[in-house]
Amino acid sequence: MIERYFLPLTRGRAEVAGLKDDAAVLQIPKGYELVVTSDTLNEGVHFLVGEAAGNIARKALRVNLSDLAAMGAKPLSYQLNIAFPHMLDEAWLAEFSAAMQEDNKAFDVFCSGGDTTSIKGGHLSISITALGLVPAGCAVRRNGAKLGDLIVVTGVIGDAYLGLKALQNSLNYEGAIGRYLMPCPRIRAVDIICEHANAAIDVSDGLLADVMHIAKASGVGAEINVDKLVFSKDVAHALDGNIMQVQDILTGGDDYELILAVSPVKLPILIRELKNIDLNPMVIGEFTSNISKPPVLKSKTHRIDVKLLGWQHFQ
Amino acid sequence: MIERYFLPLTRGRAEVAGLKDDAAVLQIPKGYELVVTSDTLNEGVHFLVGEAAGNIARKALRVNLSDLAAMGAKPLSYQLNIAFPHMLDEAWLAEFSAAMQEDNKAFDVFCSGGDTTSIKGGHLSISITALGLVPAGCAVRRNGAKLGDLIVVTGVIGDAYLGLKALQNSLNYEGAIGRYLMPCPRIRAVDIICEHANAAIDVSDGLLADVMHIAKASGVGAEINVDKLVFSKDVAHALDGNIMQVQDILTGGDDYELILAVSPVKLPILIRELKNIDLNPMVIGEFTSNISKPPVLKSKTHRIDVKLLGWQHFQ
């Protein structure tokens, strides 16, 4: 079972010794630092019961890679810990492994080990620790935002919220569903971020919450101009049809775009370089001296009920 | 909750940035390689339902550190992923955190991150990925055993098996119970192992199984002289009283002593140095050209029923 479905995830790397040692031995190139992050996804909590094995594999890996991207790090390897609630299902494992192999290739990463166990209680749990590399001293932190830095998002948000809602209510928003099931960690942007951003975070808790994480860590305030948010076709349609509200876009998580703090002088080159790798960045506000919670929200076109922003989730 | 119970596990290390970034950034000293390993422990499978929080913490960390020791690596940090089945119990968390802090100090390691999640199904799952350091090129593998190398164990075994049995049947073997609940990873021995051992593994699956892992990876056979096994007082008493059999010692796992392959010329210095750090190593056999499964078992005093050796567990 290990040989058939998990060994291929190591991509034959000598460091892993065919998963036959007690541990893997990894070389860290000179001049680099190691970035390490973990995320656990539990069935019925972080993904729907009965979700396809391939989607679980991709999501579990990608949310970890997104954390690496937010630090400006490139993926090196990951440890894969799966607790199975029942007898191993070969078809499930085959689909899981195939999807993981595709993503390994897409993001140039390999499995350096892990543990497969059985768990009582009937619900799958998958825990990944991802290892990444960043040039020494270049990691991008949450606490680097400066007064006057602009708030840049690397792409449209709100789709993950809509995707989950569409899945739960059988609505026809395929694009948004895809974004929810299969987030796209912005790994390709890490060199640009290291070079030009003062702070970064990925949108996992929600736009407002994650902007606040940067603001709080950096000791500044934040002002968001909601009118600057560009929406995907699906989200624009859902807003028009009252299927979702603007505050859902501000508070819904799981989009895994990056929020960046960028000084005005570096903004043009950052935007140009992000567009060069086919991202669609938008400038949605700036970090200010006005420390408030929630951050100042400006809009001429949207009515936002601050009471509905659900701050209790991320205070 | 994070601040009160998990932040202290980081021991204030700057690399972790107070658990406020998306990931930790670790420096790997020049001339060292990174060793990485993972183990998951699930309630009702790897530890008893209702086990004390402190024991769970220690066991989860220590089984990972034991894997590092078996590679000849010193602990650096660990990622801690806990999936809680119900509302967080402050007393449980306090006990868990206190035990983890003690072990952090004892083994000079810190928590570099992780994830706390909720899980359905009613059973706790704890998954740790441990990171260690080894001088470049010095990692000890399973595949290094040579013909004629001696099989050395770093201490008595069988206690973990007896300890579990004692817990399950309310038998009075406190020492063995302690060994089962709180394995002692042989971290202090790593310099000696790197210097003098050709191969190493920790006794997690059972003595015979783990000797076979080395033999198979190294392409040699193994012969074990059962009469050379020294037993703890508890195990000797249980053997005398027919509470356990010799084959239980050969197949019971979870002792977390190390099995080493050592060339005869290096044996005296290895034994002396292990004794210098208060270990009680024993030479129990050698790696031979006679490749067989199970390995050849010699004994003048014990009758061993090979059929009871339970090979199906580790083939």
CATH number at residue A113: 3.30.1330.10
Which of B79, B118, B120 lies at the smallest CB-CB distance from A129?
Answer: B79
Which of A36, A115, A202 lies at the smallest CB-CB distance from B24?
Answer: A36
Coil, strand or helix: which one is A315? coil
Q: Which residues of B touch A68 (CB under 8 A)?
A: 22-23
Alpha-carbon distance of A139 to A72, in angstroms, equals 6
User: pLDDT (tens digit, 9 = 90+) per residue, A75-114?
Assistant: 999 999 999 998 878 999 999 999 999 999 999 999 999 9
Whether residues A171 and A303 fall in one domain: yes
Q: Which of A58, A196, A231, A179 is nearest to A128 (CA)?
A: A58
Q: Does residue B141 lie within any of the structural domains?
A: no
User: pLDDT (tens digit, 9 = 90+) per residue, B58-110?
Assistant: 999 999 999 999 999 999 999 999 999 988 789 999 999 999 999 999 999 99
Domain boundary among B135, B164, B187: B135
Whether residues A8 and A66 fall in one domain: yes
> Is the pLDDT at B29 greater than 70, yes or no?
yes
Predicted model pTM? 0.94
CB pairs under 8 A between A and B: 198
Residue-number span of the structural domain to which A208 is assigned: 142-309
Alpha-carbon distance of A71 to A194, in angstroms, equals 8
Whether residues B131 and B154 fall in one domain: no
Closest-CA distance of chain A to residue B300, Å: 33
Whether residues A66 and A180 fall in one domain: no
* Contact call for B113 and A46, based on CB within 8 A: no
Domain boundary among B109, B135, B161: B135
Q: Does residue A314 lie within any of the structural domains?
A: no
Whether residues A301 and A158 fall in one domain: yes
Domain boundary among A90, A120, A135: A135
Kindly provide the ipTM of the predicted complex, given to two decimals.
Answer: 0.93
Whether residues A302 and A219 fall in one domain: yes
- What pLDDT was estimated at residue A314? 34
Which of B38, B41, B121 lies at the smallest CB-CB distance from A129?
Answer: B38
Which of B24, B36, B127 lies at the smallest CB-CB distance from A24?
Answer: B36
Q: Does residue A315 lie within any of the structural domains?
A: no
Whether residues B286 and B198 fall in one domain: yes
Whether residues A119 and A209 fall in one domain: no
Closest-CA distance of chain B to residue A225, Å: 25
Coil, strand or helix: which one is A68? helix
Chain A residue with minimum CA distance to B47: A119
The verdict on A306 touching B (C-beta cutoff 8 Å) is no
Closest-CA distance of chain B to residue A16, Å: 10
The verdict on B127 touching A (C-beta cutoff 8 Å) is yes
**Surface of B (197-216) touching A: CB under 8 A:** 201-202, 213
Whether residues B121 and B15 fall in one domain: yes
Q: Does residue B140 lie within any of the structural domains?
A: no
Whether residues A232 and A302 fall in one domain: yes
Q: Does residue A290 lie within any of the structural domains?
A: yes
Q: Does residue A285 lie within any of the structural domains?
A: yes
Q: Which residues of B touch A138 (CB under 8 A)?
A: none
Please tell me the total count of domains within chain A.
2
Whether residues B69 and B28 fall in one domain: yes
Q: Which residues contact A21 (CB under 8 A, 6 or more apart)?
A: B71, B141, B142
Q: Does residue B93 lie within any of the structural domains?
A: yes
Instruction: At B136, list the tokens.
Output: 């470049």
- Extract long-range pairs of A103-108: CB within 8 Å, 24+ residues apart: A103/A57, A103/A58, A103/A61, A103/A62, A104/A9, A104/A11, A107/A61, A107/A62, A107/A65, A107/A75, A107/A185, A107/A187, A108/A74, A108/A75
Whether residues B124 and B262 fall in one domain: no
| Number of CB atoms found within 10 A of residue A300's CB | 7
Q: Are strands A221-225 and A110-118 parallel, antiparallel or unpaired?
A: unpaired
**Surface of B (230-269) touching A: CB under 8 A:** none
- Domain harbouring B277, CATH code: 3.90.650.10
Q: Does residue B143 lie within any of the structural domains?
A: no
pLDDT in tens, chain A (315 residues): 888 999 999 999 999 988 988 899 999 999 999 999 999 999 999 998 989 999 999 999 999 999 999 999 999 999 999 999 988 789 999 999 999 999 999 999 999 999 999 999 989 999 999 999 999 999 999 999 999 999 999 999 999 999 999 999 999 999 999 999 999 999 999 999 999 999 999 999 999 999 999 999 999 999 999 999 999 999 999 999 999 999 999 999 899 999 999 999 999 999 999 999 999 999 999 999 988 777 888 988 877 766 666 544 333
